[in-house]
Amino acid sequence: MAHSEFSPSQLHRIISCPSSVQLYHDLGVYNEVAPSSLYAEEGTLLHSYMEKALFTSDLSFIPDAEHRTIVKAAAEYVRDFIPKYTQNVKILQEQRVEVPDLPQVYGTADLILYIKDDEVPEACELHVFDYKFGAGVWVDAEDNPQFMAYLLGAVKAVNADTRGKIFAHVVQPRLDNFKWVDYSWNRLINWRNEVLIPTIAKACSDKDYFGPSESACRWCAVKARCPACFQRAQEAASEIFKLHGLCKESASISMEDVKAFFENEAIIMSQIKAIKSYFMAELISGRKVPGYKLAYSRGTRKWKDEDKAIDYLSAQYDIDLDDIFETYLKSPAQAEKLLPRLKKDKQFIDLIYTPQGAPKLVPVDSEEANPFAEVTE
């Protein structure tokens, strides 16, 4: 299947860095088969379970208990929006959609639900659900380019009445993130005209419109080979060298200079991390990286056969079984996986506390907060 240059899932990066599209072309990314991972494979599997789970409460076809819990939570959320009646209701799963008048912007929407009202056009409802089964990044549907592209495409796919209500849903069960955002047709069209179309024009231009940043580069496949990222890292290194000269001239260094050193070092290390990941991927795929090879660390020793080990230790060394086995109470999270209903059990919740974790340094404007900090005026 051909890769979409302007896939909705890539629009966040492309809007911030339009020239990355041409760089993807130049480096052959669109012609490569995306490397698989355990996370990607699990996501594909859970998406396939959802297609069936929406129409049955019997999830015994899902062999893994944790997967059943995740799919159950996601399916229950979605089913709450599906009417009991089927007249004037469209349900499309894994539906290819493309933005009106921009056929190059296309992707696959996980679920489109359209409820038509022939008598009151304003009462029509269009819902687009996007399943996010990871737990690493909290997803917000507000001002999200991926969702806005899906919504525009969904309107076209079901020929929705644009006078009706339009909703984008995040379905992220591992983070208990079930949120919806309403969009108007005018808001979507304005975004297409004022943001998306100019972005595509820049991406197709001969001029450079690179925009490297922590957010834009986070999932970029070509960060390790991007000239703009290298320039950004080089500029950061230059700033550090300036500070190095300052150290020789000053008896003490100001907080602002220390902060500048710290932030520039982070930019350089981020680029080095990307290069290391690129080298690893090349070597794992069988390609050569001059001067480097793969080496494997020694793993933790394990029993070849646990039953034989138990028999030998107890017979030859008269070891009590209690001395070679560990019994411990599973964590609250593990208990909830076994019995999902515990999440709503007040007595169970009262048995749990959340200790403060280790502190970490984040920017002042970070959305991460300290839940234990006292609120001060």
Q: pLDDT band for position 234 (50/70/90)?
A: very high
Q: How far apart are CA 340 and CA 271, in angstroms?
A: 41
Residues 147 and 206 in one domain: yes
Same domain, 203 and 231: no
Q: Specify whether 15 is located in the same domain as 68.
A: yes
Q: What pTM does this model have?
A: 0.79
Strand pairing category for 125-131 and 102-115 = antiparallel
pLDDT of residue 374: 44
pLDDT band at 368 (very low <50, low <70, confident <90, very high): low
Residue among 126, 90, 91 nearest 111 (CA): 91
Are residues 200 and 261 located together in one domain of the fold? no
User: How many domains does the chain contain in total?
Assistant: 3
Q: Are residues 55 and 191 in the same domain?
A: yes
Q: Phi, psi (5° rounding) for residue 147?
A: -70, -40
What's the CA gap between 33 and 221, in Å, rounded? 12
Query: Do 115 and 32 sit in the same domain of this protein?
Result: yes
Three-class secondary structure of residue 110 per DSSP: strand
Contact assessment for residue 14 and residue 260, using Cβ atoms and an 8 Å cutoff: no
Residue 159 phi/psi, 5-degree rounding, is 55, 50
d(CA 113, CA 133): 20
Contact 201, 209 (CB under 8 A): no
Give the model confidence (pLDDT) of 44-93 as tens digits: 999 999 999 999 999 999 999 999 999 999 999 999 999 988 789 999 99
244 lies in the same domain as 151: no
- Does pLDDT of 192 surpass 70? yes
3-state helix, strand and coil shares in percent for the chain, rounded to the nearest 5: 50, 15, 40
* pLDDT for 189 beyond 90: yes
Query: Which CA distances in Å does 255 have to 199, 261, 360?
Result: 39, 10, 19
Residue 65 within a domain: yes
Instruction: Report helix angle 227-249 to 255-284, nearest 10.
Output: 140
> Are 154 and 270 found together in one domain?
no
Closest CA to 73 of 178, 170, 167, 168: 178
Residue 80: domain span = 8-210
Query: Do residues 121 and 262 share a domain?
Result: no
pLDDT greater than 60 at residue 370: no
Same domain for 109 and 236, yes or no, is no
Band of pLDDT at residue 226, cut at 50, 70 and 90: very high
Residue of higher predicted confidence among 87 and 133: 133
Mean pLDDT, the chain, rounded, equals: 88
Mark whether 79 and 188 lie in a shared domain: yes
